[in-house]
């Protein structure tokens, strides 16, 4: 089933890429404009020009219609394949559309996503068009974020100012990434990491060293000319190390010692215990990924687009939510608690951003008002449970034989 869909998708895509429809339409327009110019220059030629126009215009319309027909038919097949694969899988009803009351937030997420993807011109067109679009916010359901039109507008104005800044930053990021991934050139990235060394170190990031190590390995392999004889390659790497690695001595002494130790094996590194340092298939993409993450976090952004994460998490949750909706309809019940789902949605660990703690005594999720508290024995319960059990006096832990006093319990931060 999926194969069929893939095939139809490829067909539509191919047609789209090889389609000449726009060219055909343009040539019709050219033909008409030419005729208009001729008539404007010499009105006496009007009837002959129009007569001459008839056949070519008809022919060019026919060509356009034919290719449109083809496009329609492949699109139809694709839609049918989609329907077949996803039949009996309705979308959940949109009665409770929590985001309809804040279109500005949604638009902002879309614009940011486009910018992070490097689609700057699309993002700027999008921002301009959403600024012109004065569609009022849909009345939200109770409890949703209700942003007034006024704040929506100021949000967009803010975005337009900031979008310039962000665009500049992302242009820089894409340039650095391009050099890193396409040209095996980490120098712009190293430059950037150096300019932000204090902040990166404060974050515990090893980015600058990882980049320099990559450069060292690249030089050792002969750089752009892998045919270079070994002694010359090795010397180039050692020269680089002498010049750059002293900065990293305090933090990366061990790694540097490994790189230097590997040089002793250089005629036959393959057989040395250090070969993994020099033959990692993924080292460039790993470093590129860590660069993207650091770059984004210094901008105050997450490494992945929040819109992408939200949409993917939503797609994972969809089957469960649909089932839930069916059950609720059948039992005529409603789920009214806001900001919390009645069922657990299993998400991959990279999609878990906020740890929660459920008190094992009260079975309630802890909150800022009722935080988790750790007793000296190391067991954790919610503050309210602790107060209920202890009543302010020394008490026995519900999980082990230890006794403790409530004043010795410590608040746990998630």
Instruction: In angstroms, give the least distance from the CB of 410 to Zn ion.
Output: 13
**Toward Zn ion, which CB reaches closer, 301 or 374?**
374
Instruction: In angstroms, give the least distance from the CB of 302 to Zn ion.
Output: 37
Instruction: In angstroms, give the least distance from the CB of 407 to Zn ion.
Output: 16
The CA distance from 108 to 135, in Å, is 15
**Toward Zn ion, which CB reaches closer, 311 or 400?**
400
How many angstroms separate the first and last alpha carbons of the chain?
44
**Toward Zn ion, which CB reaches closer, 284 or 395?**
395
Note whether 24 and 59 are within 8 A (CB). no
- What are 365's strand-pairing partners? 358
Instruction: In angstroms, give the least distance from the CB of 370 to Zn ion.
Output: 19
Q: Which two tokens stand for residue 189?
A: 């990235």
Instruction: In angstroms, give the least distance from the CB of 376 to Zn ion.
Output: 8
Question: Which residues of 38-170 form beta strands (DSSP E)?
Answer: none
**Toward Zn ion, which CB reaches closer, 301 or 377?**
377
How far is residue 66 from each of residues 12, 53, 69, measured CA to CA in Å?
16, 20, 5
The CA distance from 413 to 374, in Å, is 10
Note whether 67 and 21 are within 8 A (CB). yes
**Toward Zn ion, which CB reaches closer, 59 or 358?**
358
If 0-12 CB within 10 Å is exposed, 13-18 middle and 19+ buried, where does residue 188 land?
Answer: middle
Instruction: In angstroms, give the least distance from the CB of 368 to Zn ion.
Output: 24
- The residues, any chain, with a CB within 8 Å of residue 127's CB and separated by 6 or more, are 107, 111, 156, 159, 160, 163
**Toward Zn ion, which CB reaches closer, 231 or 398?**
398
Number of Cβ within 10 Å of residue 23's Cβ equals: 12
How far is residue 341 from each of residues 100, 203, 350, 376, measured CA to CA in Å?
19, 34, 20, 34
Note whether 322 and 90 are within 8 A (CB). yes
**Toward Zn ion, which CB reaches closer, 176 or 375?**
375
Q: Name the site residues for Zn ion (rule: CB under 5 A).
A: 377, 379, 397, 399-400, 402
Instruction: In angstroms, give the least distance from the CB of 372 to Zn ion.
Output: 14
Note whether 277 and 217 are within 8 A (CB). yes
């Amino acid at each position: 089933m999926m194969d069929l869909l893939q095939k139809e998708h490829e067909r539509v895509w191919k047609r789209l890429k090889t389609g000449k429809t726009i060219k055909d339409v343009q040539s019709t327009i050219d033909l008409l404009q030419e005729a208009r110019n001729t008539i404007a220059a010499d009105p006496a030629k009007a009837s002959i020009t129009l007569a001459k126009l008839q056949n070519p215009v008809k022919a060019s319309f026919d060509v356009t219609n034919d290719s449109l027909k083809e496009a329609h038919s492949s699109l139809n097949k694709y839609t049918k394949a989609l329907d077949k694969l996803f039949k009996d899988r309705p979308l959940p009803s949109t009665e409770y559309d929590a985001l309809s009351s804040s279109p500005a937030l949604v638009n902002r997420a879309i614009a940011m996503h486009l910018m992070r993807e490097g689609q700057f011109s699309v993002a700027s067109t999008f921002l301009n068009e959403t600024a012109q679009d004065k569609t009022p916010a849909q009345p939200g359901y109770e409890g949703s974020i209700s942003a007034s039109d006024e704040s929506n507008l100021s949000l967009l104005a803010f975005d337009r100012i900031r979008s310039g800044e962000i665009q500049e930053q992302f242009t820089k990021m894409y340039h650095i990434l391009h050099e890193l991934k396409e040209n095996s050139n980490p120098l712009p990235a190293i430059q950037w990491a150096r300019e932000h060394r204090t902040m990166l170190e404060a974050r515990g990031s090893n980015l600058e060293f990882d980049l320099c190590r990559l450069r060292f390995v690249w030089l050792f392999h002969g750089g752009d000319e892998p045919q270079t004889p070994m002694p010359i390659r090795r010397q180039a790497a050692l020269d680089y190390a002498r010049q750059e690695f002293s900065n990293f001595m305090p933090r990366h002494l061990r790694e540097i010692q490994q790189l230097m130790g590997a040089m002793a094996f250089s005629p036959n590194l393959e057989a040395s215990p250090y070969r993994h340092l020099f033959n990692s298939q993924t080292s460039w993409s790993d470093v590129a990924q860590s660069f993207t993450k650091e770059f984004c976090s210094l901008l105050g952004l997450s490494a992945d687009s929040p819109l992408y994460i939200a949409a993917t998490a939503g797609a994972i949750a969809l089957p469960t939510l649909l089932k839930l909706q069916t059950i609720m309809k059948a039992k005529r019940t409603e789920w009214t608690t806001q900001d919390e789902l009645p069922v657990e949605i299993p998400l991959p660990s990279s999609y878990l951003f906020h740890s929660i703690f459920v008190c094992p005594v009260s079975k309630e999720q802890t909150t800022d008002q009722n935080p988790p508290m750790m007793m000296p024995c190391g067991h954790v319960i919610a503050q309210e449970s602790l107060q209920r059990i202890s009543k302010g006096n020394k008490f026995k832990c519900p999980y082990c034989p230890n006794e403790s006093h409530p004043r010795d319990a410590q608040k746990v931060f998630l």
